Chain A
């Protein structure tokens, strides 16, 4: 990390932050080509305990990326492919009758993990979405007449495919608000894509008895974990030490307030947006080796924190306005 991002050197936080982030990046980079920004966003979500919604077309390594980050920090990882016929109990778990004891016992669902990848969350029915989002918010699950705490850390990374909307249930604004960040993934650059293909050519066969199947990128995930959960906890504590100035808070609150008064915005951001913007900025400052947040942090994160929390008016949409354009206006008006 350059000394420009490091700001004023000499504190342990700086070295911790850069070391933690760089090591995770390096570990992920051994499996996934590019997508540094997404890795940064996942780290920010992990460090702040927020949840992350990834939007991107299929085949740009969303699942691979999340699994790689989870592996780098030795997090328990589970993946659920959301479908229309999924039930809340398929996610949360249920009580089943144990034949041997004649007692009901709890069968925990995949939500009981550190890192849950909810693939194509908009394909599940609203009932399932609500069950998961409630668990995300409260970090506990009620099965039968008992409440179960979810493991710590607990992070949901949900994905949405923005192109296939048939047969999907769009997440309403109130539920989107539960996600601290929504990040839109882009296609890799031609250079990165060339490297992806090159790595694909190096994959060998995975033998099983006398048979074999071609290895996939998932088989190539680096299984070593440079960090443990306690390291993540330590990093989370360091993030809490990152200083946020009054000027910085003013900028964040002002930006969120502006979303409520813009003529092209029908629904502005909730106070949760301001909280998320400050918290995420703190984590970004930590990842970039600073122990204080600067405007670059919230400017870089504004799109991911703000856009999914505001809804444009029908007239604005009909006029071809995009959320990104309105946000750019708001940032200009901030000064």
Chain B
């Protein structure tokens, strides 16, 4: 429809302040005006979003004898004087410039210097570092990558040599210094006790008498060779009537053990 053919009649009624000829509304609050248009169909501009300082919608259209009476609802986000023609468009796409001005005023109840951005909100923390979605993606990638890397690292590890436990001294290695010490000097009480028990264990292994120590000792004392030697040691260490053996006697007594072959402990 050619705009030049259109004749307009405007009746502006304010919903907020009837006394004010100019329609006015507090920002963020919907105001309304009524406009009579003889021809053509008005719509609010669909290309505007919330960033627009003024938005308008057609609330109702009432057919009249000549034309239609439009009730337009508008909402402003920024204080100031606006023209509704800027946010309206004819349904056929033609401009609304030929319409008479449709001024509306958006007023603010706040002081001039007060922050007045209605859409101002605290930015989410994730915005600082790229946003929520970015983080979700990063976490997702790590979730998959970390186990993969860990598994790969495990397989790539060079096969380490197993730790070699320090080998226990063999019975012979334990026995030998005590026997030598007994032949060369007086042993302490503790060393004497050790020596005697090591002799028992030595013979227990030598004669393969099983793992039961008490049982083995009982059998050892009855053994033809070991029993004789062990009873001599027993008498030396425990019999109050026995005299302390001379070094030569000790040498003879302990000679069989001096060169005993090393054998790992069970």
Residues of A within 8 A of B (CB): 2, 4-5, 7-8, 243, 245-248, 250-251, 254, 292-296, 299-300, 302-303, 328, 331-332, 334-335
Report how far A303 CA is from B215 CA in the complex, Å: 12
What is the interface size of chain B, counting residues whose CB is below 8 A from a CB of the partner? 29
Q: List 23 A-B contacts (CB under 8 A).
A: A2-B222, A4-B221, A7-B231, A7-B239, A8-B241, A8-B242, A246-B189, A247-B189, A248-B193, A248-B238, A250-B190, A293-B238, A295-B200, A299-B213, A299-B217, A300-B214, A300-B217, A300-B218, A302-B214, A328-B211, A328-B212, A335-B197, A335-B198
B interface, over-half SS: helix
Q: With A8-B235, A335-B174 in contact, is A296–B194 under 8 Å at CB? A: no
Per a CB cutoff under 8 Å, which of B222, B238, B241 touches A4? B222
Interface contact A245-B240, CB-CB below 8 Å: yes
> Does residue B73 face the partner (Cβ distance < 8 Å to A)?
no
By beta carbon, the residue of chain A nearest B175 is A335
Interface contact B197-A251, CB-CB below 8 Å: yes
> Does residue B227 face the partner (Cβ distance < 8 Å to A)?
yes
Which residues on B sit within 8 Å (CB–CB) of A246? 189
Which residues on B sit within 8 Å (CB–CB) of A243? 238-240
Per a CB cutoff under 8 Å, which of B193, B240, B241 touches A250? B193
A3 to chain B, nearest CB (A): 10
Report how far A332 CA is from B198 CA in the complex, Å: 9
Report how far A328 CA is from B190 CA in the complex, Å: 20
Task: List B164-214 residues whose CB lies under 8 Å from chain A.
Answer: 174, 189-190, 192-194, 196-198, 200-201, 211-214
Interface contact A303-B201, CB-CB below 8 Å: no
Which residues on B sit within 8 Å (CB–CB) of A2? 222
> Does residue B234 face the partner (Cβ distance < 8 Å to A)?
yes
* Residue of B189, B193, B218 with most partner-chain A CB within 10 A: B193
A326 to chain B, nearest CB (A): 13
Which residues on B sit within 8 Å (CB–CB) of A332? 201, 213
By beta carbon, the residue of chain B nearest A254 is B193
Report how far A4 CA is from B201 CA in the complex, Å: 19
Interface contact B213-A247, CB-CB below 8 Å: no
Interface contact B217-A296, CB-CB below 8 Å: yes
Which residues on A sit within 8 Å (CB–CB) of B242? 8
Which residues on A sit within 8 Å (CB–CB) of B212? 328
Report how far A303 CA is from B214 CA in the complex, Å: 9
* Residue of B201, B214, B217, B235 with most partner-chain A CB within 10 A: B214
Task: List B110-162 residues whose CB lies under 8 Å from chain A.
Answer: none
Q: Which 5 pairs from chain A and chain B are nearest by CB?
A: A335-B197, A299-B214, A245-B238, A243-B240, A250-B193
> Does residue B237 face the partner (Cβ distance < 8 Å to A)?
yes
Q: With A247-B193, A250-B189, A254-B193 in contact, is A331–B213 under 8 Å at CB? A: yes
A243 to chain B, nearest CB (A): 4
Interface contact B196-A247, CB-CB below 8 Å: yes
A325 to chain B, nearest CB (A): 10
Report how far A299 CA is from B230 CA in the complex, Å: 15
Which residues on B sit within 8 Å (CB–CB) of A295? 196-197, 200, 217, 234
Which residues on B sit within 8 Å (CB–CB) of A245? 237-238, 240
Which residues on A sit within 8 Å (CB–CB) of B238? 243, 245, 247-248, 292-294
A277 to chain B, nearest CB (A): 13
A21 to chain B, nearest CB (A): 16
Report how far A308 CA is from B213 CA in the complex, Å: 19
Per a CB cutoff under 8 Å, which of A251, A292, A335 touches B201? A335
Which residues on B sit within 8 Å (CB–CB) of A331? 213-214
Which residues on A sit within 8 Å (CB–CB) of B239? 7-8, 243, 292
A115 to chain B, nearest CB (A): 28
By beta carbon, the residue of chain A nearest B201 is A335
Report how far A299 CA is from B209 CA in the complex, Å: 15
By beta carbon, the residue of chain B nearest A334 is B197
Which residues on A sit within 8 Å (CB–CB) of B194? 335
Q: With A247-B193, A254-B193 in contact, is A296–B221 under 8 Å at CB? A: yes
Report how far A248 CA is from B193 CA in the complex, Å: 7
Interface contact B201-A247, CB-CB below 8 Å: no
Interface contact A7-B214, CB-CB below 8 Å: no
By beta carbon, the residue of chain B nearest A252 is B193
A333 to chain B, nearest CB (A): 10
Report how far A152 CA is from B221 CA in the complex, Å: 37
* Residue of B192, B198, B213 with most partner-chain A CB within 10 A: B213
By beta carbon, the residue of chain A nearest B202 is A335
Per a CB cutoff under 8 Å, which of B192, B227, B241 touches A247? B192
Which residues on A sit within 8 Å (CB–CB) of B197? 251, 295, 334-335
A68 to chain B, nearest CB (A): 25
Report how far A243 CA is from B242 CA in the complex, Å: 12
Q: With A4-B221, A335-B174 in contact, is A247–B237 under 8 Å at CB? A: yes
A285 to chain B, nearest CB (A): 9
* Residue of A294, A295, A303 with most partner-chain B CB within 10 A: A295
Interface contact A4-B231, CB-CB below 8 Å: yes
